[in-house]
Structure 1
Amino acid sequence: MKDDLAKSCAAGTAVLVKVENVSLPTRLRGESRESSDMRLVRTIAAMAPLDLSPISKLGLETALSAMADATKAAIASDLACWRDWCQDEGMAPLPAGPEDIVRYVNALDARGKKPSTLARRIASLGSVHRVLDLATPASPTDAPMVRNALKGIRRRRGVSQRQAAPLRLGKALDPHIAQGFTLAALLDACAGDLQGLRDAALLSLGYDAGLRVSELTRVEAGHIDCQNDGAATLFIPYSKTDQEQEGAWAWLSAETVRRVQAWQAASGIQEGLLFRRVGIDRRRARPSGETADMTLITYSIGNTALTRQGVNGIYRRIAMTAYEQGLVTLPAGKLLEAVRALSTHSLRVGLTQDLFAAGEDGVGIAQALRWSSPATALRYGRKLAVRSNVAARVLARVRR
């Protein structure tokens, strides 16, 4: 896109605004970027026993191709944890023995790891045994003592999982929302500059479609099909529950379409990834022929997708702004806790709870949000679902 230069005056201050489409550096945490395949292969190679028999290259490639990138990254992280524990214990990481795995599970339990985390790490350890043909005749993670150890921890500690704080719509959809962060409050807190237009479009589209962050960051301009009534449909080519990439569709409100179009008009993005990083550079400038100092604001639009950490940071930054502007009411001392509870899953949880509050059932909600089973939807909205279940509907008519 060509550079766009505009001048405006507000409260006597001259401002130059410049928009550039550039390749912003990707923000990384920790080690340098590498593919999920290479990271997992490197982790496995560092753990493999020296006397390991040759494995099938085709078998390894097939196993990797069957996994999602997020799954491979999680397995690599879990294996690194097991490797470090083995080093501390002075033992070889592979092949693992059932007794060693139980000791490992107990050590993680003592450190306060959740039962779901323990189960995932044991599953990852089982995966590497199968990939390296070490699961003969069966993986040590399937041993009865390992299963009993996990079962005992679940029974003692329970299996309830910490849920992301919901970002519900607010407004008049549910009068029971009295305080806390809502989507409406965050949208009102979005500024009218380039970054604010992107943030508002990101929030609005993510809520309407109930997107996972992996889906939200992959939305492209061409995925949106506008309708005559102002609404639109969004094509979702890939998701966590659609590994074969059959694709799915979601509905977008007319309000969301307007916000997306405002972001596109300001950014010049008409194809490719819709949500990208926006860099802001503010500095003093005195253009030729001008007598007064001016503020030059340069907005740099990246070419790569936002990261999970980037989206999480956007939500929390806007939440702080909403609170500072008086758009949100929170109990004294609860601000930081409420902000930290927000995550990339908050919009999806919020939409689920709003649909339950509106009286929709778990099956319909699971279909709308592309879950393979209503069980997850019921877990997110189990408290609100009570107000629309059969007992509530029948008794509300006779016990007034």
Structure 2
Amino acid sequence: MISIPDTRSATPADTNDSPALSGAAQAAMAAGIPDSTKRAYSGDWQRFTDWCTAHGRTPLPATPETLIEYVTVLTTQPRPDTGRPYAPSSIERAIASIRTAHRAANLLPPETKGARLVLRGYTDARARSKDPQTRARKASPALPDSLRAMLDTLDRDSLAGKRDAALLLLGFATAGRVSELVALDLADLQETDEGLLVSMYRGKVRKLTDVAVPYGSNPSSCPVRAVRSLVAAMGEAGREAGPLFVRVDRHGRVAPPMLRRGVPIGDPEGRLTSQAAAQVVERVADAAGLVGQWTGHSLRRGFATAARKAGHDMLTIGRHGGWEDGSKALLGYFEQADQWQENALHRIGL
């Protein structure tokens, strides 16, 4: 969470005598913010307050001049964690986190016109520079051919191999984010004559959806068969309830204990973390010798790209994969998939 003073003791930003929000009301509002956004905002706010402390400025309330100075710093210094320049979207989020902290403290957020002028000039300069470092690093799409190459590297007779195959194929077939995949339990799977019905919570749209996953035409890359094989192996290992995707050690043991200085760590049921699921994708792509930027998001992007190339429309793809209707992110995937097949120069007579 963003570390800010208790709003019940902050000076009200409005001019009436209404009391500040109670702790319960603040908690209820916080529950409406995705965890990933909270973590990002918390980091943004910490970096801003650290900078203010180092430069003798007040973070709360911050003046428009302080915000302009801070945004200028972000446009001129590389990120300490990556060494790459800050993306405009990252700076935009930093501005949003500062304004959110002010509103949560019942204070008027600083005016942002000057800071956004700095950001606009920075965005324009990045585009004109043609510097490869300023280009967004996009996950490579895991298309069917790439998926098959990744599957070929797995020992699918082992429990770990069955888990990794099911994670790759179900992640692709549901367009699942890694956070959504690792949240799945065995009870979330329903066998039908046509395939699997997967009850999946879509975090970004905050909906529990039933995703229909039909049988694949190729048994080796069929998500239904891969999941069924994993579930059977889990049952043989004595796991018939709980998480679908779990830790497996090199001896094939499910959810082996993890200790740090003698203290148990990790999920007691062995549920994979989002980071561990993403590392499966990265590791298997590397083993397959695939070139590109491979992340957990490669599965979701691969589904959108492959489905578009297969001729499915945006609404069908979006609702299957848990995108909001008219999603700009999904539209961006379409533009990349369509740049050759639906090129505007086709059939105009050149």
Q: TM-score range by the shorter chain?
A: 0.7 to 0.9
Out of 247, 253, 277, the position equivalent to 2:214 is 253
Q: Equivalents in 2 of 1:74, 1:381: separation in Å? A: 27
Q: Which of 301, 313, 317 is the aligned partner of 2:255?
A: 301
Distance 1:236 1:298 in 2: 27
Q: Which amino acid aligns with 1:205?
A: L
TM-score with structure 1 setting the length: 0.70
Task: State the one-letter code of the partner of 1:188.
Answer: D
Q: CA deviation at 1:72?
A: 1.4
Q: 1:377 and 1:160, CA in 2 relative to 1: closer, same or farther beyond 3 A?
A: farther
Q: Distance in 2 between matches of 1:91 and 1:279?
A: 50
Per the alignment, in what secondary structure is the counterpart of residue 360 of structure 1?
coil
Provide the residue aligned with 1:119 in structure 2. Answer: 92
Q: Distance in 1 between matches of 2:209 and 2:153?
A: 31
1:364 corresponds to 2:328? no
Q: CA deviation at 1:390?
A: 8.2
Does residue 149 in structure 1 map to residue 149 in structure 2? no
**Contact 2:282/2:296, CA 8 A, preserved across alignment:** no
Q: Write the distance in 2 (CA, Å) between the matches of 1:390 and 1:383.
A: 10
Task: Show CA shifts across 1:301-336 (max 9, x none).
Answer: 26143222211211122123223xxxx5xxxxxx5x
Residue type at the aligned position of 1:115: P
- TM-score, normalised relative to structure 2: 0.79
- Percent identity between the two aligned chains: 29
After superposition, residues 53-92 of structure 1 pair within 5 angstroms as: 53=11, 56-92=22-58
Q: Deviations over 1:56-76 (max 9, x none)?
A: 323322221221222211111
Q: Which residue of 1 aligns with 2:184?
A: 219
User: CA–CA distance in 1 between the matches of 2:310 and 2:252?
Assistant: 44
Amino acid at match of 1:375: K
**Structure 1 residue 200 displacement after superposition:** 0.4
Secondary structure, in 3 states, of the residue corresponding to 1:343? coil
For 1:76 and 1:374, the matched residues in 2 are separated by 26
- Name the SS for the 2:92 alignment partner: helix
1:44 aligns with 2:24: no
Alignment partners' CA distance in 2, 1:360 and 1:375: 17
SS at match of 1:301: coil
Q: Which runs of 5+ in 2 are unaligned?
A: 12-19, 78-84, 128-133, 216-221, 257-268
Equivalent positions of 1:318-333 (< 5 A) are: 318-323=284-289
- The correspondence of residues 1-400 of structure 1 with structure 2, limited to 5 A, is 40=1, 43-45=3-5, 52-53=10-11, 56-111=22-77, 112-135=85-108, 139-140=109-110, 142-158=111-127, 161-170=136-145, 182-191=146-155, 192-229=157-194, 231-242=195-206, 245=207, 247-254=208-215, 255-268=222-235, 269-280=239-250, 297=251, 299-301=253-255, 303-323=269-289, 338=292, 341-372=293-324, 373-389=326-342, 391=344, 395=347
Q: Aligned to 1:249, what secondary structure does the other structure show?
A: strand
More strand by share: 1
Distance 1:253 1:356 in 2: 18
Distance in 2, matches of 1:101 and 1:362, equals 39
Structure 1, 66-75 or 143-152: larger mean CA deviation: 143-152
Higher normalized contact order (CA 8 Å, seq sep 6+, divided by chain length) = 1
Q: CA RMSD in A?
A: 2.6
* Mapped partners of 1:390, 1:157: distance in 2: 26
